[in-house]
Structure 1
Amino acid sequence: MLDNLSTHIRHALEVRYGVRAGCRLWRRFTPHYTFVHSSWLNQAEMETSLLSRQCLGRRRIPTLDKLRCETQAWQKWANRQRIWIRWRFTVPKVRAKFHYQPTGLTRS
């Protein structure tokens, strides 16, 4: 599963490893790209950002056990708060961004 970063393309492998090796490597993958906006990857990045800002800040955590304790406490707090993420990228905005034109086809 990949986000839409420009490095996740066959050409990037060809540049790095040469055309033959890059093509050979690319054939080993079946890429499944996420949506550019509001993908699950964006959600994961948002939670990591919140954890970093709200829980860790600029502190140095001395041990892995202490880090686990701090992050678990923050996770419990965040879950109790039931904080919602309000998506601003709506369906009409998506359609405008990608110049969506209805095809007249309907689902059966």
Structure 2
Amino acid sequence: MPAKKYRVKLTETERSELMGFLNKGRASSRKLTHARILLQCDESGGTPAKKDQDIAEALNISASSAERVRQRFVEEGLESALNPKVQARFRSKKLDGAAEAFLVATACTNPPEGRAEWSMQLLADKLVECKLVDSVSDETVRTTLKKMRLNRG
């Protein structure tokens, strides 16, 4: 088994903070588990650090969870190791208000020569052609028109 890449060495204040945190018991289960992981894999105390597999069995978690907590502690600090990582869940909108207004206005006009009606791809190409956006998919056009409750038929 390879040697641990991320070694946890808690200071006395960090260790006492984690012990106080566990003694209170008023936190999410995840935070308490992460505090227990850090205390058990601490190499600066008088007792030797436990292996990830032993910690995993004792706390009923996976060994990779213990490894991730150690890594986050070493790279980002105690606060980051205890708190959940905030993930960006939403992307910024591709079409702003002006582009949406242009899209709706274009969709309500007569289609180009040789076409019976506007397709989503034609509308997307028109937005790019008019340089309102660098690129846009036909699905973005469809969802935008649906959001506007625009009935083209």
TM-score range relative to shorter protein? under 0.3
- Normalised by the size of structure 1, how large is the TM-score? 0.24
Which structure exhibits the higher relative contact order, with contacts defined as CA atoms closer than 8 Å and separated by 6 or more residues?
Answer: 1
- Normalised by the size of structure 2, how large is the TM-score? 0.19
